[in-house]
Structure 1
Amino acid sequence: MENRSISDIIEAYLKEIFGDDTQIEIRRSEIADHFNVVPSQINYVIKTRFTIQNGYLVQSKRGGGGYIRIERVNLLADVDVLNSLVQAIGDSIRERDAFAIIETLYNEKVISRREGDLMLVALSKQTLAVDDTNMENKLRARILVSFLNRLRYES
């Protein structure tokens, strides 16, 4: 049997709630009660698993009638979303985060498997082979932003 963390289980549950919808609204405390965890665990899952890099926008409203709205977005169809993604990348990105973006592009059928594989190779530690991690992450960000801009103009 597969060992899954509570974060994996909560993520799967939230994705199941989506169904065919593009957005959901949840109450953090209700989800926390459902899984018998503290509300900060729900924050952690949302902050780490439902990011713009993974194809999601998150909005929250605090207070008594507060909610968290999670919206699944098409990364390249909406210029504002693409701009947010490029802004989230900034001038530096770790290999793991770059790979997550490419995986999302593939899962959303924006790129083919072959294109994704080529992008992964181009952004890998082995290809960049820079002894300075900071410089490597900056170079990776510039290449990834260039890929995204090229995809924007082709679609």
Structure 2
Amino acid sequence: MRISDSVAKYIMQLLNEADGTAEIQRNELANVLGCVPSQINYVITSRFTPEQGYHVESRRGGGGYIRITRRQLSKSDVVMHIINAVGDSLDGGTARAMTENMLQNGVIDSEAASLLQAAASDKSLSLIPREFRDAVRASIYKNMLLVVKT
């Protein structure tokens, strides 16, 4: 298991044990898990995002902490957050990661995930010049999510 997976798993355990809110100190957690503090930052910014239903707040300084709260969002709210996060450009790797996160979190079913993956794939966009693919992918992805949302 990669260290980022271990960090995410540990934070998820803390969230589950504390009814959806975990307060951690980055340096202490890094010591417990045997990693560098920047690895903790990476995991929090990539896996505990508003689009994934988390609110993160931090306080710097000697008594500083990072508080992660799992928000109870409707599927519709999650999809709208993702649509807003996509913006004007979306690369294939990010589209796959977003789709996988929605599938794992029960926002979409496997059929919708497969359709999103197929539509956003480089293979589907092969006739589009490379410099326009990410913009076209973003447009397709957002429009498909609007249909999934309803």
**Fold agreement, TM-score > 0.5:** yes
Give the superposition deviation at 1:54: 4.2
Aligned counterpart, 1:46: 44
Unaligned runs of 5+ in 1: none
1:2-151 alignment, distance < 5 Å: 4-19=1-16, 21-73=19-71, 74=73, 76-78=75-77, 82-130=79-127, 132-151=129-148
Give the superposition deviation at 1:134: 3.6
> Structure 2: which amino acid aligns with 1:76?
K
Moved more, 135-144 or 42-51: 42-51
**1:112/1:151 CA distance change after superposition, 3 Å:** same
> Structure 2: which amino acid aligns with 1:8?
D
Aligned partners of 1:132 and 1:71: how far apart in 2?
42
TM-score (norm 1): 0.78
Give aligned pairs, total: 148
**1:37/1:106 CA distance change after superposition, 3 Å:** closer
1:32–1:38 CA contact under 8 A, matched in 2: yes
1:76–1:151 CA contact under 8 A, matched in 2: no
String of CA shifts for 1:64-120, please: whole Å, max 9, x gaps.
332212233436343xx5554333211111111111221222222222211111111
Q: Secondary structure at the match of 2:140?
A: helix
2:58–2:67 CA contact under 8 A, matched in 1: yes
Aligned partners of 2:146 and 2:6: how far apart in 1?
34
Identity of aligned pairs, percent?
Answer: 37
Unaligned runs of 5+ in 2: none
Aligned partners of 2:131 and 2:60: how far apart in 1?
36
**1:130/1:51 CA distance change after superposition, 3 Å:** farther
TM-score (norm 2): 0.81
1:55–1:104 CA contact under 8 A, matched in 2: no
Moved more, 5-14 or 119-128: 5-14
Give the superposition deviation at 1:36: 3.0
1:54–1:104 CA contact under 8 A, matched in 2: yes
